[in-house]
């Protein structure tokens, strides 16, 4: 049965010495079949061995000087795997892309050289970082061959080579000349079959998942494949078209799905409501209706907001009002979910033991329309306190949780946007599939 907001359609822990925590999940057999970094260290004496580690060093830089790192979250995320390998006596060779230089060598800025991250890495790791100006070639090979026990080498932006995103064999083999072992710890690029994520594994003796990747797989796959029920997914964002595969997959696995963000107006149009000037994808209206029917047939509670916060223009200073979803008309547009809906969402979240949050509930970049998203983030934190498993699934929802100062109050924050979505969709990630079997 379908009703609004009611829009209801009815129906472990391991703590490592390197600071990573996982709750009890029975991850799928496919995930458990891949070698992780600890398993690699058990099979091979890594002392003095070169290990190439694919990381994600895409940090934001100050717009003023294009050099100062303004958020080092991604740098801190690579510390556990890197320190583990260094402690095993391995020579660690870090490689990453940085922005989208599209095969051009750019000296500075968000698509430029990786020089700005060097001081931060040295501080975080307590080690000198040797930096080279390319990622393959004779000079890089010479630098890699000179490494001695426990040294750290940083390669240049892999996307300075146009072949990186094409999984070019020459680039893959060039990277393969630098080490015998490979560790994949860049979850955010694991859904891409690139030279530094997938192609390089063909030139390694063994390839393993780092702590960050391993944790992502256990949380995200574990949450949807073997959840502690009831399982609730909170799905938001501007466009339903980008979330259709995720919603379809979640309908197969969830007990409850809460919808928010601009996408809800496409569902309202499918229900025959006037949506005023609200965002809508007319070519998706019919499919939105089919998704509601599919959830009903599966006995899944698919909950749409019953009230929204309206504005007369897309601006923080706009006139605003709260209205029932069947009362929208004229020039008004919906920019956030309403208070009645938040009460409904709070009850559903309180009754769930595994909660996945992907996508904002409104235009959270505008402070007057951020309450829905911030409140959901607070409800996630509250659920974590009582022992629920709470996962923030990448993208804007991560920014919202961090903006609310609640990043450390949920069980897991995913580091991947597209990768998180594809994993939730049930897709196999090329950067994971290429790893050595456990």
- For residue 229, report the phi and psi dihedrals to the nearest 5 degrees: -85, 155
CA dist., res. 142 & res. 11, Å (int): 62
Task: Say which of 43, 239, 294, 324 is annotated catalytic.
Answer: 239
Active site residue 313: no
Give the containing element (helix H, strand E) for 402: helix 396-403
Distance of CA 66 to the CA centre of its chain: 25
At 436, the pLDDT band (50, 70, 90 cuts) reads very high
Q: What is the pLDDT of residues 281-323, one digit of tens each?
A: 999 999 999 999 999 999 999 999 999 999 999 999 999 999 9
Q: How many CB atoms lie within 10 A of CB 346?
A: 16
Q: Which pair of structure tokens corresponds to residue 5?
A: 């907001």
Q: What is the pLDDT of residues 98-153, one digit of tens each?
A: 999 999 999 999 999 999 999 999 999 999 999 999 999 999 999 999 999 889 99
Instruction: Identify whether the C-beta of residue 177 lies closer than 8 Å to the C-beta of residue 202.
Output: no
Is the per-residue pLDDT at 21 higher than 70? no
Adjacent-strand bridge partners of 52:
93, 182
At residue 322, the pLDDT reads 97
Residue closest to 189 by CA, chosen among 51, 359, 54: 54
At residue 395, the pLDDT reads 66
Residue with tokens 């259709």: 244
* Three-state SS annotation for 274-292: CCCCCCCCHHHHHHHHHHH
The model's pTM = 0.79
CA dist., res. 421 & res. 288, Å (int): 18
The mean per-residue pLDDT over the stretch 368-393 comes to 94
Q: What is the pLDDT of residues 206-250, one digit of tens each?
A: 999 999 999 888 888 887 788 899 999 999 988 888 888 889 989
CA dist., res. 386 & res. 299, Å (int): 27
At residue 32, the pLDDT reads 52
Q: What is the pLDDT of residues 146-155, one digit of tens each?
A: 999 889 999 9
Task: Say which of 23, 34, 54, 74 is annotated catalytic.
Answer: 74
Is the per-residue pLDDT at 20 higher than 50? no
List, in order, residues 6 or more apart from 396 with CB less than 8 Å away: 237, 359, 360, 364
At 403, the pLDDT band (50, 70, 90 cuts) reads confident
The mean per-residue pLDDT over the stretch 254-268 comes to 96
At residue 67, the pLDDT reads 86
At residue 22, the pLDDT reads 38
Residue with tokens 């923080």: 316
Phi-psi region of 371 (alpha: psi -120 to 50; beta: other; left: phi over 0): alpha
Residue closest to 262 by CA, chosen among 288, 287, 238, 236: 238
At 421, the pLDDT band (50, 70, 90 cuts) reads confident
Q: How many CB atoms lie within 10 A of CB 230?
A: 17
Rounded to a whole number of angstroms, the distance between the first and last alpha carbons of the chain is: 45
Q: Give Dmax (Cα) for the chain.
A: 71
What mean pLDDT, rounded, does the chain reach?
Answer: 89
Instruction: Identify whether the C-beta of residue 82 lies closer than 8 Å to the C-beta of residue 100.
Output: no
Active site residue 394: no
Is the per-residue pLDDT at 16 higher than 70? no
CA dist., res. 104 & res. 118, Å (int): 21
List, in order, residues 6 or more apart from 142 with CB less than 8 Å away: none
CA dist., res. 400 & res. 377, Å (int): 8
Active site residue 176: no
Q: How many CB atoms lie within 10 A of CB 138?
A: 9
Q: Compare 8 and 141 and report the one with higher pLDDT.
A: 141
Residue with tokens 């490689």: 95
Active site residue 239: yes
- For residue 276, report the phi and psi dihedrals to the nearest 5 degrees: 60, -130
Return contacts of 283-287, CB within 8 angstroms, 24+ apart: 283/241, 284/240, 284/241, 284/244, 287/240, 287/244
Which range has the worst mean pLDDT, 42-56, 219-233, 336-350, 359-373?
Answer: 219-233
């Amino acid at each position: 049965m379908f009703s609004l907001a009611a829009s209801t359609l009815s129906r472990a822990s391991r703590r490592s010495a390197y600071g990573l925590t996982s709750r009890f999940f029975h991850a799928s057999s496919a995930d458990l079949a891949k070698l992780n970094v600890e398993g690699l260290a058990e099979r091979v004496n890594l002392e003095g061995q070169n290990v190439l580690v694919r990381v994600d060093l895409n940090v934001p830089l100050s717009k003023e000087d294009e050099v100062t790192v303004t958020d080092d979250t991604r740098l801190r995320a690579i510390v556990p795997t890197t320190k583990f390998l260094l402690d095993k006596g391995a020579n660690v060779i870090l490689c990453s892309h940085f922005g989208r230089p599209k095969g051009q060598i750019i000296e500075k800025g968000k698509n430029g050289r990786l020089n700005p991250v060097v001081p931060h890495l040295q501080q975080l790791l307590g080690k000198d970082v040797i930096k080279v100006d390319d990622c393959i070639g004779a000079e890089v090979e010479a630098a890699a061959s000179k490494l001695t026990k426990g040294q750290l080498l940083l390669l240049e932006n892999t996307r300075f080579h146009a072949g990186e995103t094409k999984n070019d064999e020459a680039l893959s083999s060039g990277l393969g000349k630098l080490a015998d072992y490979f560790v994949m710890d860049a979850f955010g690029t694991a859904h891409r079959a690139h030279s530094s994520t997938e192609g390089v594994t063909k030139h390694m003796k063994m390839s393993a998942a780092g702590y960050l990747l391993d944790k992502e797989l256990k949380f995200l796959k574990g949450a949807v494949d073997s959840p502690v029920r009831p399982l609730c997914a909170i799905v938001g964002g501007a466009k339903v078209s980008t979330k259709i595969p995720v919603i379809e997959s979640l309908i197969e696995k969830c007990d409850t799905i809460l919808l928010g963000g601009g996408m809800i107006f496409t569902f309202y149009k499918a229900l025959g409501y006037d949506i005023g000037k609200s965002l809508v994808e007319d070519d998706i209206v019919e499919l939105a209706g089919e998704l509601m029917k599919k959830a009903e047939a599966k006995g899944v509670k698919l909950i749409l907001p019953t009230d929204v916060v309206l504005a007369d223009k897309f601006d923080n200073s706009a006139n605003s009002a709260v209205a029932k979803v069947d009362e929208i008309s004229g020039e008004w547009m919906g920019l956030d979910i309403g208070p009645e809906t938040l009460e409904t969402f709070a009850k559903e979240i309180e009754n769930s033991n595994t909660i996945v949050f992907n996508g904002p509930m409104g235009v959270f970049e505008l402070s007057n329309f951020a309450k829905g998203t911030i409140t959901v983030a607070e409800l996630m934190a509250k659920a974590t306190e009582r022992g629920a498993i709470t996962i923030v699934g990448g993208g804007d929802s991560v920014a919202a949780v961090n903006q609310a100062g609640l990043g450390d109050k949920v069980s897991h924050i995913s580091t991947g946007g597209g990768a998180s979505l594809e994993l939730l969709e049930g897709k196999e990630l090329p950067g994971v599939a290429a790893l050595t079997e456990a």
